[in-house]
Amino acid sequence: MTDSHAAGGAILEPKTKPPFPFVRLLYAFGFAVLAWLAFWLLLVLSFIQFFVLLITGRVNEELKSFNLSLLQYLWEVFAFITFVRDDQPFPFGPFPKPR
């Protein structure tokens, strides 16, 4: 007869290694694709902002505000991918508002 109790009466449980976070890895790949798209969108909007500045002599404040939000979104995505944050960015969390 085997006894699974330790000397103090406590039950010994085998230590198991936590499973590999496959779901987090899949989210990271998905967010990397979104970051790539957001990066290129930000570049295109930057060129548009430049042409608006050439034509009107001033920047478009709404576009400037959106660019800031998009830049903050990129930071949130990279922070999630690199384990700096655990909160998932947009579309699972709110889209950042400009500060």
Please list the rounded mean pLDDT of every run of 10 residues in the chain (99 residues). 56 68 89 96 96 95 94 94 88 81
Say what the pLDDT of residue 56 is. Answer: 94
Query: Under a CB-based contact definition with an 8 Å cutoff, are residues 89 and 75 in contact?
Result: no
Say what the pLDDT of residue 61 is. Answer: 94
Say what the pLDDT of residue 1 is. Answer: 52
Say what the pLDDT of residue 6 is. Answer: 53
Q: What is the pTM of this model?
A: 0.73
Nearest to 83 by CA among 23, 11, 13, 28: 28
Query: Under a CB-based contact definition with an 8 Å cutoff, are residues 45 and 66 in contact?
Result: yes
The token duo for 99 is 């500060």
CA geometry: angle at 73 spanning 19 and 78, to 5°?
A: 40
